[in-house]
Structure 1
Amino acid sequence: MSRLQTPDNLSLKHRCYLSLVRGLARLPLPLLQAVGGVLGRVVYRYGTSYRHHFDGNLVQAFGADAVKKIGPQAQAEAGKAMFELPWLWLHTRAEILQTIRSVEGWHHVAAARGAGKGILFLTPHLGCFEITAQYAASQSDAAPITVLFRLPRQRWSESIMRYGRTRTGMDVAPADLSGVRRLIRALKAGESVGLLPDQVPAVGQGVWVPWFGKPAYSMTLAARLAQTGASVLFAFAQRLPDGQGFALSCRPPSSPLPLDDLSATAAAINQELMKLISSCPEQYLWGYNRYKTPRGWNAQPPEINL
């Protein structure tokens, strides 16, 4: 396991939190995932707001039966996604790569690099979304890769998150205008960028486009980055059962993105993300309030053609 220095300015309480994360990281990954699976269902049962969004999103995407058919496993997988993070942040690159059992579609990466293009990896909150950038950073035809880094609300966790995301071949850019400029420069230089595009952005940074049959405020950043001429690849690391590791895959869009229009591009990206999520709905984080109205939007969401 990698060694992390404790920041000097942490309070005693936050030092205890950090020690807890370190302790969890020392446990075997299969055990962490097993514990996370149990606690994921506990959180669902007792988290009223979380359960409301979880069930509502599932019903919107797959109908009323989805709560029973997909819900229980999705609850467990959400817990696994959280509990595996300490292990992924603090273990060495070699240990992390050993958990990847198969890789599919990597020839698309090699082709993009051979053509001298930058590579935009788009990964929804599906499966183990932390490990895709780690793998890309380890491969000569994808490294270096830059990812956006938003400061966590719990500032004690900043050092550990930054530590886990700044390895050899991997760097972070702040989630502001300067960071966006860094991403654009990286792509134009033929480098790689990783982005989680299924989040509700701030007002002025998104458009209302369909998401599982309902208008959702969706980021335009991915569309703007695609306009650099970079190759767009959708990446997904599926969590294998019984702690066996992960199966990573990446693929290009099923049809060319309409890059001349940001709204159309954002809608097309959403369509590709929905296809990916539908291939493994049990491992998507359904508890996120994907349909929320961003702060500062003082009107009803506009009507759009679905």
Structure 2
Amino acid sequence: MAGSFSNHRIDLDKRLVIKGMEHIEQARADGKGVLLLGMHFNSIDVGSRLLGYLMDFYAVYRPNDNRVIDRLINQGRGNYLKGNVPRSDIRQMIRLLRNGEVLWYAPDQDYGIAHAVFVPFFGIPAATITATSRIARMGKARVIPTAHYRLPGGRYQIEFGPPLENFPSGDDEADTARINQTIEHYVRKHPEQYLWVHKRFKHQPDGAHIYR
């Protein structure tokens, strides 16, 4: 089994295109923790595995309600993750970042209106949590956009963008709007690969429901 996994890894490495790795290397050289601004593309599972070949990192996730399934998910992801962090455990996220770790965090889902503001995403108000700027500020981390795409010919690409400058700014709503703008920039490159099934616009300011 180990040999099979190793061969699969070598095959994936041959099909992987990496852009912007220098941004990660610079942050690590500066002794900074890295908050990877993740995005939910349909290549998220293979993208996470490929990312694990490039660096040790932790990932923030929503624990499954079924404890057995949650344990199996954690065991499977343990092959390429340094560890999983429940999305409610802000304290652990901050501790990891202050210790110079890399943490994948994707705020591009509608988690409800609690602890969220409505800011545009593709021109439509989207309930977006404001925790990103707080985690970055308290963790003293660089925030680096991280996208992963499928390419023709069975190839994949991981793209790291430049760290967000002057982030956080002290204005949570402005920071959250900037997060959505940043994610939108990367989604526009391959909009057909984004996980729109996550109902990104489920809640609206006037109480209306886009999805029926």
TM-score by length of 2: 0.83
The aligned residue for residue 110 of structure 1 is: 25
CA contact (8 A) 2:51 2:158 kept: no
Tell me by how many angstroms 1:152 deviates.
2.3
The aligned residue for residue 86 of structure 1 is: none
- Bigger shift: residues 216-225 or 183-192: 216-225
**Mapping of residues 1-306 of structure 1, within 5 Å:** 1=1, 92=5, 95-96=8-9, 98-100=11-13, 101-139=16-54, 142-143=55-56, 145-153=57-65, 156-167=68-79, 170-176=82-88, 179-227=89-137, 228-242=139-153, 244-253=154-163, 256-293=166-203, 300=206
Structure ranking higher on relative contact order (CA contacts 8 Å, 6+ apart): 2
CA contact (8 A) 2:36 2:144 kept: yes
Tell me by how many angstroms 1:233 deviates.
1.1
Tell me by how many angstroms 1:240 deviates.
2.2
**Aligned residues, how many?**
203
User: Aligned with 2:192: secondary structure?
Assistant: helix
Q: Deviations over 1:102-121 (max 9, x none)?
A: 11110111000000000011
CA contact (8 A) 1:197 1:219 kept: yes
Tell me by how many angstroms 1:156 deviates.
4.7
CA contact (8 A) 1:233 1:251 kept: yes
Instruction: Give percent identity, aligned residues only.
Output: 28
Q: Structure 1 residues 136, 94: CA separation in 2 closer, same or farther (over 3 Å shift)? A: farther
User: 1: distance between equivalents of 2:85 and 2:26?
Assistant: 26
User: 2: distance between equivalents of 1:281 and 1:269?
Assistant: 17
> What is the identity, as a one-letter code, of the residue corresponding to 1:300?
D
Q: Structure 1 residues 191, 271: CA separation in 2 closer, same or farther (over 3 Å shift)? A: same
User: 2: distance between equivalents of 1:127 and 1:265?
Assistant: 26
Tell me by how many angstroms 1:132 deviates.
4.0
User: 2: distance between equivalents of 1:300 and 1:102?
Assistant: 43
User: 2: distance between equivalents of 1:225 and 1:134?
Assistant: 24
The aligned residue for residue 210 of structure 2 is: none
> Would you tell me which structure has more helix in proportion to its own residues?
1
CA contact (8 A) 2:187 2:194 kept: yes
User: Aligned with 2:183: secondary structure?
Assistant: helix
> What is the identity, as a one-letter code, of the residue corresponding to 2:64?
P
Please, which runs of 5 or more residues in structure 2 have no aligned partner?
208-212
The aligned residue for residue 67 of structure 1 is: none
> What is the identity, as a one-letter code, of the residue corresponding to 2:58?
T
Q: Deviations over 1:153-212 (max 9, x none)?
A: 455532331112223651011232xx2111111111111100121011244322111111
TM-score by length of 1: 0.59
Q: Deviations over 1:246-296 (max 9, x none)?
A: 1111112565434211111111010000000001111111222111229xx
CA contact (8 A) 2:23 2:163 kept: no
Please, which runs of 5 or more residues in structure 1 have no aligned partner?
3-90, 302-306
Q: Structure 1 residues 123, 286: CA separation in 2 closer, same or farther (over 3 Å shift)? A: same
User: 1: distance between equivalents of 2:6 and 2:33?
Assistant: 23
User: 2: distance between equivalents of 1:130 and 1:190?
Assistant: 24
